[in-house]
């Protein structure tokens, strides 16, 4: 599942493949941007901002969000793609590489001068140079009645945590996901969020248990009905969100998270 660490890794791969190269062909398979042509422009950088990916080309920014199914792949010119062409949303070609964005949940192109303003609603980026734990704590505290799991996943508070990290962090701190923000010690929780996602940013397989074997990497996420790895109690499951449209699956151990 794409979260901040996945997008960070994708941006790093794209930057290494494309940075300082001239685009020989661009193909935007999204109606709103079908006429955009970045041929002849230089790729300045590719970076992540939370769960957003920003490809800076010439005077434009190609902004994408992976959502649930999206991914970016880098291939050599002429190399066969391993996914159907109809799933591609963006293709950027240079003399040395071809970058293809498949099933991207969001695609937009805007002038580079607008990047700061467009991204300004996001909280501090857990994996970015602007990471500010105090600011993240301050933002979370502005909604004292919100469930802590909702506050952790709100990108306006801190950028980069998805549902996997939200559930796992609540377990690691022994907090029931529904507990109000005002009743949670936010400083150690935010510190743990930073340490856990940074520990995973260079890993192929994300783990919060410290065990990288398949099926043993997570404590509670997607483990409803299974025994808790710590105490053996059956993991419970429900859905939680700011409203009915934003409900997210939530898992917890009723014994370890009191």
Contact 168, 219 (CB under 8 A): yes
CA–CA gap between residue 194 and residue 215 (Å, rounded): 24
CA–CA gap between residue 155 and residue 208 (Å, rounded): 21
Instruction: Write down the CATH number for the domain with range 4-118.
Output: 3.20.190.10
Segments of the chain assigned to CATH 1.10.8.50: 133-252
116 is catalytic: no
For residue 241, what pLDDT is reported?
Answer: 87
Contact 102, 120 (CB under 8 A): no
Instruction: Write down the CATH number for the domain with range 133-252.
Output: 1.10.8.50
Give the DSSP per-residue string, 121-148: TS--BTTSTT--HHHHHHHHHT-TTSBH
For residue 1, what pLDDT is reported?
Answer: 63
73 is catalytic: no
51 is catalytic: yes
User: One digit per residue, pLDDT tens: the chain, 258 residues?
Assistant: 689 999 999 999 999 999 999 999 999 999 999 999 999 999 999 999 999 999 999 999 999 999 989 999 999 999 999 999 999 999 999 999 999 999 999 999 999 999 999 999 999 999 999 899 999 999 999 999 999 999 999 999 999 999 999 999 999 999 999 999 999 999 999 999 999 999 999 998 999 999 999 999 999 999 999 999 999 999 999 999 888 878 899 999 999 999
pTM exceeds cut of 0.85: yes
Termini Cα distance of the chain: 27
67 is catalytic: no
Contact 62, 109 (CB under 8 A): yes
Catalytic-role residue among 49, 51, 139, 223:
51
Q: In the chain, what's the furthest Cα-to-Cα distance?
A: 60
Three-state secondary-structure class, residue 36:
coil
What tokens appear for 60 in the block? 């434009």
Segments of the chain assigned to CATH 3.20.190.10: 4-118
Strand partners, 233: none
């Amino acid at each position: 599942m794409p979260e901040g660490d996945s997008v960070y890794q994708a941006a790093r791969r794209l930057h290494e493949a494309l940075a300082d190269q001239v685009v020989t062909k661009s193909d935007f398979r999204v109606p709103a941007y079908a006429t955009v042509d970045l041929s002849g422009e230089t790729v300045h950088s590719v970076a992540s901002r939370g769960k957003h990916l920003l490809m800076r080309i010439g005077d434009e920014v190609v902004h994408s969000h992976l959502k649930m199914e999206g991914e970016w792949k880098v291939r050599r010119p002429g190399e066969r793609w391993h996914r159907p062409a109809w799933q591609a949303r963006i293709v950027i070609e240079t003399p040395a590489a071809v970058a293809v964005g498949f099933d991207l949940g969001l695609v937009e192109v805007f002038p580079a001068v607008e990047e700061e303003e467009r991204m300004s609603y996001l909280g501090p980026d857990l994996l970015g140079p602007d990471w500010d734990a105090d600011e993240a704590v301050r933002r979370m505290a502005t909604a004292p009645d919100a469930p802590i799991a909702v506050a952790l996943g709100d990108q306006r508070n801190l950028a980069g945590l998805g549902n996997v990290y939200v559930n796992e962090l609540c377990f690691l701190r022994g907090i029931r996901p529904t507990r109000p923000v005002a009743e949670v010690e936010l400083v150690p929780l935010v510190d743990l969020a930073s340490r856990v996602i940074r520990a995973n940013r260079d890993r192929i397989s994300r783990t919060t248990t410290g065990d990288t074997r398949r099926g043993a990497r997570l404590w509670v996420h997607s483990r409803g009905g299974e025994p808790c790895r710590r105490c053996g109690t059956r993991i419970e499951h429900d859905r939680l969100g700011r409203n009915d449209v934003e409900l997210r699956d939530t898992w917890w151990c009723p014994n370890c998270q009191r």
